[in-house]
Amino acid sequence: MIAFDGFHFSDSAFRFASALNEKNQILLTGVFLPQISYANIWTYADGMGTPLFVPALEKSETETIEKNIHHFEELCVRNQIEFRVRRDFNDLALPELKRESRFADLILIGSHDFYTNMGAGDPNTYLRDALHDVECPAIVVPEKFAIPDSNILAYDGSASSVFAIKQFIYTLPELSENKTLLVYISKDEEPQIPDEPFIEELLARHFKDLTVTKLNIDAKNYFSTWMADKKTSILVCGSYGRSSFSNIVKKSFVAEVIKDHQLPVFVAHR
């Protein structure tokens, strides 16, 4: 599933979907929304929990959305991708999007606005709100990126991080051939990675080229620097856990990596 705002067609998100289809045929559902800030897609309009209503569209706006839908259909046919189109989001955007994600294996979000807004205000709140209610794993795709040839699995020993890694394995087995790095991040001199024999046993069943490493760094300040030479990777992370990595997320760690390096990020939460 790809979520587009009506006036912006994300070529990058489609390119990611097309790359997956080349490895293993998919069914791709394009969800075309009226022009709504991506910051509000998965949230409510106010603190009272009022659903986000989409205003009536002008004729020119409808024509633009239809043009993008036609472009999507042409690309799918050209790339031999089986597809569906969802365009009826003129009433309640949030409940319909949540329902769509409930029956999807994966949602791709590609938006220049998503990335540029990372640098304004509280970028982590933006990220957390944007992905909070999605009911399937998500990949946030930058406008310019390389098809991943390596996987970076962020691990903190929590159930949340293991859940995200397993969802990545089950959802995208096509990427299991990639060189894979499991990274445990801690600024404390801990003697070993939590449950290291168990996580290695799990991952060795799925990744042929696996490396496990521990970084003794302050991730909030230095992980983004460490990622600088890994621009052809996809970062896999969980959210809403209770341990060190979730605290890093709350301090805009993931947002900082996205903003600085513009690489695809796979997020799954329980």
- Judge whether 124 and 162 are in contact, CB under 8 Å: no
CA 131 to chain centre: 8
- Phi, psi for 72 (deg, rounded to 5): -60, -45
* 205-230 mean pLDDT: 80
Q: How far apart are CA 10 and CA 12, in angstroms?
A: 5
Q: How confident is the prediction for the chain on average, in pLDDT? A: 77
Comparing 72 with 42, which gets the higher pLDDT? 72
- For residue 262, is it left (φ>0), alpha (ψ between -120 and 50) or beta? left
CATH class of 2-141: alpha beta
- Judge whether 187 and 156 are in contact, CB under 8 Å: no
Q: What is the pTM of this model?
A: 0.81
Q: pLDDT, tens digit, for every residue of 114-162?
A: 555 545 444 445 445 556 677 899 998 888 888 999 999 989 888 888 9
Q: Which of 38-47, 77-86, 184-193 has the lowest mean pLDDT?
A: 38-47
Alpha helices in the chain (DSSP H): 11-23, 59-78, 93-102, 112-116, 123-131, 159-171, 196-204, 219-226, 244-250, 253-261
Q: Which of 100-104, 107-111, 186-190 has the lowest mean pLDDT?
A: 186-190
pLDDT in the model for residue 47:
41
pLDDT in the model for residue 130:
54
Of the pLDDT bands very low, low, confident and very high (cuts 50, 70, 90), residue 113 is low
* 226-231 mean pLDDT: 79
pLDDT in the model for residue 215:
81
Q: Where along the chain do its domains lie?
A: 2-141, 150-268
Q: Let me know if domain 150-268 sits in CATH 3.40.930.10.
A: no
pLDDT in the model for residue 214:
87
Do 2-141 and 150-268 come out as alike in CATH topology? yes
* 78-107 mean pLDDT: 81
173: helix, coil or strand? helix
